Structure 1
């Protein structure tokens, strides 16, 4: 399995792109979140939006879902041009689906072909919120409930034995201590602003984690002060923690 970052930035990413990743294994592609910046990132990888046929949504902030209308319409156009009836699959925990449709409905429901529902664009793969796991091409994924904004539903993605992808999340030492022995890497949100943000992990939060967890950390969803390779390398030398770079890939055996 390979995980490639399509973007690593926060809500205002400049050249970093909004935080998102592409998983590739067994001739399968799964995109984690769908910000609008993904289209250009995929082009830089030599891929079109239609070549990604599976999507997982962590939560419903705009910088993680504002490319869904673009993704849905492009897939429909591509199906029409090529006579292909296969729709992309949307993997989403059931307690997010209603609010997701509320977020994208105004752009997708009213069309020249009539009123559409989300099912017109996607094969919905609803994940039970009471047992939030799904399997795809031989890999079992666990959707891990995270702490982000109070009362907001958000999930990370745990793929044993490969990685944990936190999504937008505060640092949870107990959770990460349970996950750490079962994965090679932990990709974790870290805002890196010089202020307190109560919905994202800070560098101080991650420094305080147990050493076995820190050894596996790769930081993501950080601010634009680290958009150059030089600034990221200087950070790693100073802090001993790597920052994921846009289009950087991680290979898992």
Structure 2
């Protein structure tokens, strides 16, 4: 992994490296580190991973980019810090770009996202009653695994994505079926992005075993430990073997991150927003 600092304008293409640019790296309540949404780029292909409440603002004010530049989208789960900017993205696509945003989304998530989150704001327009597909164009996605957890596969240009169900908000449920929908993503079989998740070493170990080319992990991390039933805590993540921690960068943190030293604890470090992580 190499890193490159942001210069003047957010890059939507590159020389073919697999690049991860975190627009923000903080938790849902962070105004300092912003929310954990990121842009993944490879050659001529790009995909925005999540579009939270602050995403449209930070794109323009911090990175000199317009929301209308986003052509491809994938979502991890329906909390506002991950989907709160989608109404603006949808309207930007419809009225400014004049072209739906390409989206990778399992059918069950599409239905819930529209009916429970988006419909109330953008169902009606001066042209009549609108649907999800007036704003978004679904890219092909196929289920590749059912147990021990669902996995889906899709491609956005040259970028391969494998979405896997995660345990984030389980509300004392005993199965994925009764839990909130949430997904992590493996990019090009090389980079594991957990999305918001509880501490789940069994799942991480399964993925590392079945995808041996994984070279880096971007892992959700609650440094304070206050939301341990929803997000993996820093202390929990320290329980991973050294060889796993060494390729783990931590994000979705709060200001408590200033009180710990992840490198001393064997991690790759904390993710920094506004930096290109290139592989």
1:126 to partner: Cα distance: 5.7
Structure 2 counterpart of 1:215? 246
Matched, 1:94 2:119: no
1:190 to 206, 221, 238: 221
Conserved? CA contact 1:7–1:37, under 8 Å: no
Judging by fraction of residues, say which structure has more helix. Answer: 1
What's the secondary structure of 2:87's corresponding residue? Answer: helix
1:124 to partner: Cα distance: 1.8
Conserved? CA contact 1:109–1:115, under 8 Å: yes
What's the secondary structure of 2:195's corresponding residue? Answer: coil
Structure 1 counterpart of 2:204? 176
Matched, 1:200 2:231: yes
Number of equivalent positions: 242
Return 5+ residue gaps in structure 1 as ranges: 80-84
Distance 2:266 2:242 in 1: 12
1:171 to partner: Cα distance: 2.4
Structure 1 counterpart of 2:149? none
Return 5+ residue gaps in structure 2 as ranges: 1-17, 146-151, 171-178
Distance change >3 Å, CA 222–CA 209, structure 1 → 2: same
Deviation digits for residues 96-132 of structure 1 (CA, Å, limit 9, x no counterpart): 1111002110111011221111111110236345651
1:165 to 183, 186, 193: 193
Matched, 1:38 2:41: no
Matches within 5 A, 1:101-250: 101-102=114-115, 103-125=117-139, 127-129=141-143, 131=145, 132-150=152-170, 151-180=179-208, 181-226=212-257, 231=258, 235-236=261-262, 238-241=264-267, 242-250=269-277
Q: Over aligned residues, Cα RMSD in angstroms? A: 1.9
Distance 1:219 1:213 in 2: 12
1:66 to 65, 75, 84: 84
TM-score of the aligned structures, taking structure 1 as reference length: 0.88
Conserved? CA contact 2:90–2:100, under 8 Å: no
Distance change >3 Å, CA 155–CA 27, structure 1 → 2: same
Matched, 1:4 2:21: yes
TM-score of the aligned structures, taking structure 2 as reference length: 0.80
